């Protein structure tokens, strides 16, 4: 982009139902930030990429002659789309799951190494979250599971996890592919449970990693800035509470049957490890020397949180071979669905 003295655009990407909408609205409390709802800016860039290669006159002129001009077009598109915010000195956070598939393209366009904020969550919890939405809105017509909604929770899980087109499976495949392309060192991983249990810690990590000035966020009072017409999706997918509340661990146990959960846990162990969060340790503190009304003060249990390094992976030194796309999970045919 034309302004190369500072980074003006950061991408927020990752898995669905993993806190990206909450994160955007927290970051949006800072007037120095411009945050987006789900954005198609990346798809505009991809569309240009797919079209110009097939244009006969450009091919006749020679790729090497035309490519630098097309790169200028990409840069102009990004700058023009966020011209107002950039002119006001704001930092833009653009949210789209498709950034994972197009990270190298963006890096080439902006002529510098980039970092991406990647939201993750246990895959079982993601599948269960979609299942809960489906069950809570039985009369709604939505496209989460394609044209024909499977009649069982297990069937819906299999559909959601399809690596080519599933609402969960495709972004999971994109994330694993991004890891195998060597992007770990440039990913700021935001774990759903860490975001909902320790939001200020997560925000502080993001500011430190991106070199942004400090800001006092208020997770107890969160106004929803980003707006999306969820009627287009058929379900309330992008609504947030006005206060950050701790996420529930292993919420999938209330929705998924044991066999389905075990199969998903085994198939997606790599991603689940990435999303794993440990709550602050609790230790017992004895205050033997303190007296109260002539009696020893009872042992008190206090929550302590040891300082930890930013949630960040170490980039691989060499490219790893890409794994095969995850196959749909399989469980015994006689497994029973548990729908609460």
pLDDT values of the chain reduced to their tens digit, one per residue, 340 residues: 444 556 899 999 999 999 999 999 999 999 999 999 999 999 999 999 999 988 999 989 998 999 999 999 999 999 999 999 999 999 999 999 999 999 999 999 999 999 999 999 999 999 999 999 888 888 777 877 777 888 899 999 999 999 999 999 999 999 999 999 999 999 999 999 999 999 999 999 999 999 999 999 999 999 999 988 767 676 777 788 899 999 888 889 989 999 999 999 999 999 999 999 988 765 554 544 444 444 433 333 334 444 444 444 444 443 444 444 444 444 333 333 333 3
- Which pair of tokens denotes residue 195? 């975001």
Looking at 3.30.479, 2.60.40, 3.30.70, 3.40.50, the CATH number of the domain 9-121+167-245+276-303 comes to 3.40.50
DSSP 122-185: -HHHHHHHHHHHHHH-TT----TT-SS--SSHHHHHHHHT-TTT-TTHHHHHHHHHHHHTT-GG
Q: Where do the domains of the chain lie?
A: 9-121+167-245+276-303
Q: What 3-state DSSP class applies to 139?
A: coil
Q: How far apart are CA 156 and CA 79, in angstroms?
A: 41
């Amino acid at each position: 982009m034309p302004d190369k003295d500072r980074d003006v655009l950061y991408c927020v990407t990752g898995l669905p139902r993993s806190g990206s909408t909450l994160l955007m609205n927290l970051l949006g409390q800072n007037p120095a930030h411009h945050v987006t709802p789900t954005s198609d800016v990346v798809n505009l860039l991809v569309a240009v990429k797919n079209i110009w290669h097939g244009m006969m006159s450009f091919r006749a002129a020679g790729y090497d002659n035309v490519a630098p001009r097309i790169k200028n077009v990409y840069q102009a598109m990004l700058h023009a789309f966020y011209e107002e915010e950039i002119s006001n000195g704001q930092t833009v956070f653009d949210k789209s799951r498709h950034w994972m598939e197009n990270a190298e393209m963006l890096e080439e366009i902006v002529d510098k190494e980039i970092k991406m904020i990647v939201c993750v969550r246990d895959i079982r919890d993601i599948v269960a979250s979609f299942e809960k939405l489906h069950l809570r809105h039985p009369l709604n017509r939505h496209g989460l599971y394609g044209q024909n909604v499977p009649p069982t929770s297990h069937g819906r899980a299999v559909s959601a996890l399809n690596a080519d087109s599933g609402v969960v499976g495709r972004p999971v495949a994109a994330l694993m592919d991004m890891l195998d392309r060597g992007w770990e060192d440039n990913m700021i991983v935001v774990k759903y449970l860490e975001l909902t249990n320790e939001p200020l810690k997560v925000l502080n990590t993001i500011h430190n990693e991106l070199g942004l000035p400090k800001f006092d966020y208020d997770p107890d009072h969160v106004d929803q800035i980003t707006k999306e017409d969820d009627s287009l999706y058929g379900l309330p997918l992008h609504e947030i509470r006005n206060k950050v509340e701790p996420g529930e661990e292993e919420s999938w146990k209330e929705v998924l049957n044991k066999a389905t959960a075990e199969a998903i846990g085994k198939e997606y162990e790599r991603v689940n490890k990435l999303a794993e969060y440990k709550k602050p340790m609790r230790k017992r503190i004895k205050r033997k020397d303190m007296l109260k009304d002539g009696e020893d003060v009872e042992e008190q249990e206090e929550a302590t949180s040891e300082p930890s390094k930013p949630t960040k992976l170490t980039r691989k030194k060499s490219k790893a071979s890409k794994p095969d796309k995850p196959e749909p999970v399989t469980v015994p045919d006689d497994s029973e669905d548990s729908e609460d």
